[in-house]
Amino acid sequence: MTAERSPPPLDARAALFLDFDGTLAPIQNDPDTVSLPDGGADRLLKLSQALDGALVAVSGRDIRDLSARLPVDIWRAGGHGLEICAPGEVPLPLPIQAPGTLLADIEDIVADFPGTRVESKGPVIAVHYRGAPESEGSLLDALNELVENLEGYAIQQGKMVLEAKPARAHKGRALEHIMTLDPFLSRVPVMIGDDTTDEDAMASALRAGGLAIKVGAGETVAPYRLADPDAVWAWLGASSL
């Protein structure tokens, strides 16, 4: 479906799920340069307090990377939900590793495609091809062939990125699990995201009677849309919470 409606105001009964890249911060060619806007950390902390702690950033980034870019006093779910940190919790220093030679094998594939780069996120390995968009089809075929016989792994397409990730790394299942935890229990899930993996969490939020908000253009399961991260912050800032 194509969402066109602006979302209603944020309700005090909400459990707020926020993607990071493309939602709270604009996507950059170099993912290492992405950060919250000025004042963003304080706004997230105030919103979390107003929602009795029921606010979580759910990202494909490794939990250590995500925690370095967000206030540690909010919930964080990294690796598409593989690792979750409660407010104040510091993630373990070493990430879960991808199996066997998967990282090295992907690096060998990417070496044949100038303008692409590999980002290792523990068990999730991202191949960014924003600098070589014509490589998408060939990269996708090569990566699918690589993981075809690797049990529990699949290739996920996103915005100018292909990710080799465990099947259990799934934002929809992460949302469902987090909704069983205090302080999310018995609240109404609201998922905001811009990419393919966010659609899984949007669908889970809708099944639970919640809201889903798509950021940017494209087909979506969400009934509501915001244009870009600036519009997300404007919507969050308009809340009376």
Catalytic residue among 11, 19, 105, 198: 19
**Token code pair at residue 119:** 């980002």
CA distances from residue 201 to 55, 109, 190, 191, 195 in whole angstroms, order as listed: 14, 30, 9, 7, 10
Q: How many CA atoms, within 13 angstroms, populate the side-chain half-sphere of residue 153?
A: 23
Q: How far is CA 52 from CA 24, 55, 75, 190, in A?
A: 20, 8, 12, 15
Q: In what order do the strands lie in the sheet with 153-158?
A: 117-121, 124-128, 161-166, 153-158
- DSSP state, residue 91: P
Helix (H) or strand (E) holding 164: strand 161-166
Q: For residue 102, give the nearest of 131, 139, 72, 143 by alpha carbon.
A: 143
Residue 19 annotated as catalytic: yes
* Single-letter residue type at 142: A
Q: Locate 29 and state its tokens.
A: 């060619």
Task: List the catalytic residues.
Answer: 19
